[in-house]
Amino acid sequence: MRRTKAAVAVTLAGVLLAGCSSDGDGGSDTGQDDKGSGTKAPSLAKLTVPSAYDGGKGWDQELDWVPESTESEMPVTTDGKTVAYITRSSDGYAVQARDSATGKVRWTGAPYQAPTVITDQPSYGYDESNLEIPQVTVIRQGSRTYVAAWAHGRQEGDALTKSKEVVQVDLYAMDASGTSVAPLHRVAVPVTARGGTLKVYDGGNGAGLVVTWEEYSDTLGASIDATTGKLTEYDSSEVRIPKCHSVCTGSEVVAVTPDGPVAVHELGGFGLVNGWSSQDVAPRDADSGKETYSGGYVSGVIAGVSDGMFLARWKGADNMDATIWSAHDLDTGRLLASTACGEDGTEDVTDAVASPNGRYLALNSVVLDVKSGTGLCLAGDDTHRAINIRALEDDGTAYGETDSDNGAKSPIELKVSTNSPKALAEGTQIPAGVLKDRALFTERENGAGLRISVRQRR
């Protein structure tokens, strides 16, 4: 679940662009000069976007610190009303949040230092060719929304303490205000993560942030309560899914509910610890996983989590070569929708794509409608290319991309209800996220740096 780029840092390394003129990082209203800066922001970037949006109306934010040599996710997130991202200056990194509609700065966090990036362990997946960078993630818990600024690296020791590998997490309220805002909580999660295995995401249903990683052959995890900052660590040898087969240890926590963690067993099968089991919530045409196969494997794994729901993948009940996908409620495991689709998914659990109203849920070429209980398979065949969905709107409009023969990606738009995809003009940017009456677009600047753009709906 990752997204991203480098250059000269001048005060806060970002410039807001809005309409023909805009506010600066100081937070004045859109269309006003940055007070005290003596300069105006450059003009709004010209974007080619889907026809539902106006490429000439909105605002931009440029981050010049993001290095080209990273495969990390982009340091930007949104809850639909606010866009938060990470800036950098000589004082360190800082979280900044803007109103998605106006581009006005709502608040700026106090500068902080991230752990030292690990580059001296190539055998474990860490070197100069793929630098990890700080990230931001939205968490919804209780009646509030939080943003977690997190970074993985080495927390340096001193004369009394030893250095240690950690995921440093700073938690802020998304509705904060002011400048130099201090985090509500800072939590250091001790890890020993193999390169490329660290995942940090909203655990779903208001239960906090989930951190998982692989250490040698084991998958370990932890969760953080955004309200209190409490850290709970999970040991795979102690986390056991309900109705497991002969080997009950070796489960990975992939989500957290108020009633406990939801885990997936390394040999298949999943469930709420001390609660519901995957065997009881499988779709009718799927193998429920009550029987084991060669190597002890069973049917049923969680592939994606989003907004209090999860996507699961199963073997077919009557055809072992068939793949069944389903959407479920995270708290109860209740089946919401299902469809047959040859999409393989990802090796690990990742963020699913959801429409803002939660009706549509997608992972790569699978789209599920939890209101109608049906699904759409876009995996492709001998004639058609596979379409991977990247954004969903409340009305079922989906934006995605296909891989062309030359390796480039072609932008696609379609309606889930009619499954009538159409290719968009070459160079059209597809949304990275859908907001209320707007969309978020992101683009690297010549391989390094990052431009964040919000454009209005027509």
Residues 132-168 pLDDT 10s: 999 999 999 988 999 999 999 999 999 999 999 999 9
Indicate if the pLDDT at residue 40 is higher than 60.
no
Indicate if the pLDDT at residue 359 is higher than 80.
yes
Which range scores top for mean pLDDT: 243-247, 284-288, 306-310?
284-288
Which of 134, 160, 166, 133 minimizes the C-alpha distance to 148? 134
Ranges of each domain in the chain: 241-426
Mean pLDDT of the chain: 87
Share of residues in the chain with pLDDT > 70 (%): 90
* pTM flag (> 0.85): yes
pLDDT of res. 381: 87
pLDDT of res. 39: 32
Indicate if the pLDDT at residue 20 is higher than 60.
no
Burial of 238 (0-12, 13-18, 19+ CB in 10 A): exposed
Q: Which two tokens stand for residue 338?
A: 């299902």
Quick one: average pLDDT of 69-91? 94
Cα–Cα distance for residue pair 100/164, rounded to 1 Å: 38
Q: Which residues contact 452 (CB under 8 A, 6 or more apart)?
A: 60, 61, 62, 63, 76, 83, 85, 440, 441, 442
Q: Which residues contact 116 (CB under 8 A, 6 or more apart)?
A: 153, 154, 155, 156
pLDDT of res. 246: 65
Tell me the β-bridge partners of 178: 107
Residues 384-432: tens digit of each pLDDT: 999 999 999 999 999 999 987 777 889 999 999 999 899 999 999 999 9
Quick one: average pLDDT of 312-334? 93
pLDDT of res. 319: 84
Quick one: average pLDDT of 182-194? 96
Q: Which residues contact 158 (CB under 8 A, 6 or more apart)?
A: none
pLDDT of res. 5: 31
